[in-house]
Amino acid sequence: MQATLRSSISFTGTGLHTGRPVRVTVHPAAAHFGIWFRRSDVTDRDNLISARFDLVPESQLCTRLMNTDGVEVSTVEHLMAALAGTGVHNAVVELDGPEVPILDGSAAPFVRGILSRGLQRQGAPIHAIEVLKPVTATVGAASATLSPAPGLTMRFTIDFADRAIGRQTRFADLANGRFVRELCDSRTFCRQSDVDQMRAKGLALGGTYDNAVVVEGDHVLTPGGFRHADEAVRHKMLDALGDLALAGAPLLAHFEAERGGHMLTNRLLRALFQTPGATRMVECTPEQAARLPGVGVKSADLAHVA
């Protein structure tokens, strides 16, 4: 069955790129509503933005949504991953600024807040997007593919010159709370040289060692280092789940990426829905529903989260 939160939950923090303080509140919503963002600070235009892949302008540093009135909300990927990874199908995300707060750089604070409220089953069946044939997108040396699978599985490979990260590959079947246990606490990461370049362009103004793992060459500059030896690729998988959630419904598919990122995942979704016969919407059987991210998540799963 579809699910929403039992009651609203709020988070306060700073936008990673704007450096501005922001409060975001996730409210329950009716069955079949989906996920929508509402900018409470915008009163002169339409302030509602649907969480849909076709409302994403191209961006490499984060995932940004924009409605037809030009109202935007950025850095939505960690919250979207938390909603998908805990099995929330319907919600209104209200915020008083242009960017979702970065918090600790992972999805764990969002997951913890959502599960603290609990989920309300809504008596409506879950509909999912079944991928029927492989579709691939490429950006330079990076590539990503969605292909048929009975649930949502993911294999991700990254390859960085910095030896602190290097080449990492990880596979995950995202059923049965695996996102919460293994991926949600993995933080965003970057190189110190990238931080310097971004700040020269007026970006990453809210970035600190408290909300990102910063590396340079062989060295991890963030105190305490990585939470996991392969935290970098785990975070890329977290981002991918959040970006794939913009399909508008859970995916029954295998996602595979080599050097992927936000822009590539969005291009992949666009290619998927532009390819005749590549998808169909299905009402999930109990067996299919049991394989979706979020199904089977328990409070005890948070014991494994930093």
**Each residue of 240-253: pLDDT tens digit?**
999 999 999 999 99
- How large a percentage of the chain has pLDDT more than 90? 84
Question: Which residue segments constitute the domains of the chain, with CATH numbers given?
Answer: 3-121 (3.30.230.20), 127-304 (3.30.1700.10)
Angstrom distance (rounded) from CA 242 to CA 245:
5
Angstrom distance (rounded) from CA 161 to CA 61:
19
Q: What is the pLDDT of residue 168?
A: 97
Backbone angles phi, psi at 102, to 5 degrees: -80, -25
Q: What is the pLDDT of residue 18?
A: 86
pLDDT tens column, 134-170? 999 999 999 999 999 999 999 999 999 999 999 999 9
Q: What is the pLDDT of residue 86?
A: 96
**Helix, strand, or coil (residue 22):** strand
Active-site residue list: 262
How many CB atoms sit inside 10 A of residue 208's CB?
Answer: 14
Does residue 106 surpass a pLDDT of 70?
Answer: yes
Q: What is the pLDDT of residue 154?
A: 98
pLDDT tens column, 20-71? 999 999 999 999 999 999 999 999 999 999 999 999 997 768 999 999 999 9
In which element (H, E) is residue 80 found?
A: helix 77-85
**Segment among 40-54, 58-72, 109-123, 270-284 with least mean pLDDT:** 58-72
Q: What sign does the dihedral 110-114-115-119 (CA atoms) show?
A: negative
Q: What sign does the dihedral 173-176-181-183 (CA atoms) show?
A: positive
DSSP one-letter string for 109-176: HHHHHHHHH-EEE-SS--EEEEE-S-EEEEETTEEEEEEE-SSEEEEEEEE-SSTTT-EEEEEEE--T
137 forms bridges with which residues in the sheet? 144
Does residue 306 surpass a pLDDT of 60?
Answer: no
Does residue 304 surpass a pLDDT of 70?
Answer: no
| 139, 240, 282 from 156: Cα distances, Å | 15, 9, 26
Does residue 123 surpass a pLDDT of 70?
Answer: yes
**Helix, strand, or coil (residue 243):** helix
Angstrom distance (rounded) from CA 130 to CA 127:
9
**Segment among 208-217, 230-239, 269-278 with least mean pLDDT:** 208-217
Closest by CA to 107, choosing from 19, 174, 36, is 174
**Helix, strand, or coil (residue 191):** strand
- How would you classify the pairing of strands 35-39 and 48-50? antiparallel
Arithmetic mean of pLDDT, 182-189: 95
> pLDDT tier at 191 (50, 70, 90 boundaries)?
confident
